[in-house]
Structure 1
Amino acid sequence: MARRSILAITAAASILLSAAARACPSLIEGVAADRIEALSRGVNADGWIADPQSAPPRSLLLELRKAGMAHIRLPVHADDVMPRFATTADRDQRLHTLDGALKTLLALGYAVSVDLHSGKRFNALHKDDPPGAMQEMRDAWTGLARVMQRYPADRVFAELLNEPEVDAAQWQNEVEELAVFVRRLLPQTTLITGPVNWQRADALPGFKPLDDPNVVYAIHVYDPMAFTHQAHWDPSEPLQDIIGLPYPIRADDPQVQRLREQLGALNKRKALAILDRAIPDRGIDKWLQPAAAWQQRYSRPLIINEFGVLKAGAPRDSRLRWLAAVTAYARQHCWGWTHWELSQGFGLADAITGKAEPDVLKALFGPR
């Protein structure tokens, strides 16, 4: 019974995704249409590989698959799978966990992108010793590829490095070399990569597409930060002092005016400066326009594989409005999207029930 249910869910979701791909025929050259479909709607499952106990409940994964999610992005933290930073036993444990996660997700009908997610120690190495960092990336991908080779290349994808923290010229040279290396390990696998500067849309125009045609390009969207990262978890971060900021951000909004007055009265000058720089908000279309122009120039497939709003301080209706605006823009431009993230501070699951929040799913999926 369970297997029949999963098959029915997969078939229904595939019909929705196929319709989306037919609407975007000119933007899937170089990457097979079924892979573009698979990346059209997804969510990040951060923490799973670092700690198997944090694996999302099967019931939640089934619920999301039934709702139309097709893709799970699995961050694998670089510091956990690189020989310089982790023991052989620890690396083997992470790869074993990855293998189990892939089995689970593929059985539920998901496609998966394995994301080499940069960490603090690797980022420092990347800046101070680029050749050493390149060797660590090769070693990490050698181990990851051994696991990924066991699974269909049209369902499991390889994200070369999340948010490289080096300058654009260095990363351009490195990613071209790294892509060739990973391509030898995974000849048929779709690769995913993106620019520097937190993979912002406005960094994409400075990034040259790879010669490899089987690549999807990824950007991240968290603008305006004053809104998406308000009530920040770090007490040293001025964004922690911004709470209740609505979206869109307008100078004449009484809620914005009250917040400005409160920050001024508390002498929170840094937070007030961040807020003032965000007024008025440019709008999602303006934030993402550089990526749209890049795609028009190069005709390469794009995905927004990180975007979200920290739930702690954002008004709920504003959070839903922002999420809906991002995915509406993605659909309009035939981009995939992958929400950050599943069950943590930005999560689409309710912390009490463990189930997906229906109004969040409605905002993400748009008109059905």
Structure 2
Amino acid sequence: MATPCRRLLLATILLSTILMPTSLASATSAETCVPASQTVAPDRLAALSRGFNADGWINGEKSAPPTRELLQQLRKAGMGHVRLPVPAERVMLRFASKAERDETLRALDKALKQLISLGYSISVDLHPGDRFNRLHKDDADASLRELEDAWGTLARVIQSFPADRVFAELLNEPDIEADRWQKQVETLAAFVRQLLPATTLIVGPVDWQRADSLPRFRPLPDPNVVYAIHFYDPMVFTHQGHWDVQDPLHDITDLRYPISAGDPGVQALRRDLQDRGATKALLMLDTAIAAARDKPDISRWLAPAVAWQQQFSRPIVINEFGVLKAAAPRDSRVRWLAAVTAYARAHCWGWAHWELAQGFGLLENGTGKPDPDVMRALFGAAKPGRR
């Protein structure tokens, strides 16, 4: 007879099987997954299993919501989760007028209703900009007040929706010291829990929520929490052709993945960077080449998250990952995306691609439709079916 832990693991696998394409179900098994968490309901973890970020949807006059037709296409293709960034400064008293806050809440309510009607689960992501991040570094007490104010406001909307369909992500990429964030997020989570007693919370560590930041982060006392990491390694590949011309990564283009010193393209890129005197970019490339010699696959960067999960038995989601499209070889981008989601499946982690329709987007530039190669990469080799 199965133990309670084993039964919960089997339940998680069963739900994941129900919610994923049939041909992918065999990729998730008791042999490849760490023991299932007993802290978050399996159906909620399954709800976070495959998704995308809808950045720019909630943004006032600059809002760019996806069409209903596109959302239906993605839902039919197998997407079940939308991470919905809400600009933090638009719902904080210090930074927003009442009119701006009200407009943001109306837009959020409308988006949640539409997504729920289409069968999605949603994580409402409090996504700060430079103004809050400066306050966060400079004034711990004032920043905590703003976070509590923002969640007091957001909770009034979220309370109207099923707790097993709408989740609360407390802060995207907290940009303060690890010890300060640990204390602050414990306080913030307790505050939000009073407002949303049944809602699953999502939190992550500092340093852009990298996997190697998790060892410095302790699980919260609240059991109903999923832990989110972001993944963009190696940065010289995922951010090549960077939009900021002052960034050294702007000088790197056509870099293939996996990175190999023996690749003629890599050798040609090194010569080009030397000839142009792009010393910072060359150093970043050489560092990545050296790292690839030691351990070329993505487990190099994600292993700390696996170890953390094995230690604490808490659920993990990679709710940001992607490759900037402009300068990356298409086949390498597809290969990297496939590697990330395969790793996530092997460890029973959910994932949410960054993002939908901008520089990292999963849509084709010409048609505005989901890129079939990218979708196949995200879901595995077989064509995904409807959940």
Residue in structure 1 matched with residue 71 of structure 2 by the alignment: 61
Q: State the one-letter code of the partner of 1:65.
A: R
**1:294 equivalent in alignment to 2:308:** yes
List per-residue Cα deviations over 1:36-85 (Å, max 9, x = no partner). Answer: 11000000000000147410111111111111111000001111111111
Whole-angstrom CA distance in 1 between matches of 2:129 and 2:323: 22
List per-residue Cα deviations over 1:65-124 (Å, max 9, x = no partner). Answer: 111111000001111111111111101111110000000100000000000012100000
Give the superposition deviation at 1:14: 4.8
List per-residue Cα deviations over 1:119-171 (Å, max 9, x = no partner). Answer: 10000000101100000000000110000000000000000001000000000
**1:263 equivalent in alignment to 2:273:** yes
Give the superposition deviation at 1:21: 8.0
Residue in structure 2 matched with residue 305 of structure 1 by the alignment: 319
Whole-angstrom CA distance in 1 between matches of 2:240 and 2:314: 33
Whole-angstrom CA distance in 2 between matches of 1:27 and 1:231: 39
Residue in structure 1 matched with residue 59 of structure 2 by the alignment: 50
Q: What value does the CA root-mean-square deviation take over the aligned residues? A: 1.8
Give the superposition deviation at 1:28: 3.4
TM, length-normalised to structure 1: 0.94
Q: Residues 240-251 of structure 1: matches in 2 within 5 Å? A: 240-251=250-261
Question: What's the % identity of the aligned pairs?
Answer: 63
Q: Are residues 15 and 138 of structure 1, via their aligned partners in 2, closer, same or farther at CA, if it must alter by over 3 Å? A: closer
Residue in structure 1 matched with residue 12 of structure 2 by the alignment: none
User: Match of 2:351, SS?
Assistant: strand
Q: State the one-letter code of the partner of 1:249.
A: I
Q: Residues 52-131 of structure 1: matches in 2 within 5 Å? A: 53-131=63-141
Q: Show structure 1 runs of 4+ deviating over 3 A.
A: 11-15, 17-26
Give the superposition deviation at 1:16: 2.3
Whole-angstrom CA distance in 2 between matches of 1:21 and 1:97: 37
User: Match of 1:162, SS?
Assistant: coil
Q: Is the 8 A contact 1:17 1:38 kept in 2?
A: no
Residue in structure 1 matched with residue 181 of structure 2 by the alignment: 171
Residue in structure 2 matched with residue 16 of structure 1 by the alignment: 20
Question: Which runs of 5 or more structure 1 residues have no equivalent in the other structure?
Answer: 1-10
Whole-angstrom CA distance in 1 between matches of 2:251 and 2:301: 24
Q: Is the 8 A contact 2:60 2:103 kept in 1?
A: no
Give the superposition deviation at 1:17: 7.4
**1:332 equivalent in alignment to 2:346:** yes
Residue in structure 2 matched with residue 4 of structure 1 by the alignment: none
Q: State the one-letter code of the partner of 2:364.
A: D
**1:38 equivalent in alignment to 2:47:** yes
Question: Which runs of 5 or more structure 2 residues have no equivalent in the other structure?
Answer: 1-14, 383-387
Q: Is the 8 A contact 1:218 1:302 kept in 2?
A: yes
Whole-angstrom CA distance in 2 between matches of 1:151 and 1:15: 21
Whole-angstrom CA distance in 2 between matches of 1:135 and 1:233: 34
Residue in structure 2 matched with residue 360 of structure 1 by the alignment: 374
Residue in structure 1 matched with residue 362 of structure 2 by the alignment: 348
Give the superposition deviation at 1:312: 0.5
List per-residue Cα deviations over 1:292-345 (Å, max 9, x = no partner). Answer: 000000010000000000000000000011101110100000000000000000
Whole-angstrom CA distance in 2 between matches of 1:31 and 1:137: 24
Q: Residues 125-274 of structure 1: matches in 2 within 5 Å? A: 125-274=135-284
Whole-angstrom CA distance in 2 between matches of 1:345 and 1:364: 17
User: Match of 1:134, SS?
Assistant: helix
Q: Which has the larger displacement, 172-181 or 281-290?
A: 281-290
- Provide the aligned length of Structure 1 versus Structure 2: 358
Q: Is the 8 A contact 1:305 1:336 kept in 2?
A: yes
1:323 to 337, 343, 351: 337
Q: Are residues 333 and 350 of structure 1, via their aligned partners in 2, closer, same or farther at CA, if it must alter by over 3 Å? A: same
Q: Which has the larger displacement, 134-143 or 58-67?
A: 58-67
Q: Are residues 91 and 13 of structure 1, via their aligned partners in 2, closer, same or farther at CA, if it must alter by over 3 Å? A: farther
Whole-angstrom CA distance in 1 between matches of 2:94 and 2:235: 34
Q: State the one-letter code of the partner of 1:145.
A: A
Whole-angstrom CA distance in 2 between matches of 1:328 and 1:22: 13
Whole-angstrom CA distance in 2 between matches of 1:351 and 1:83: 38
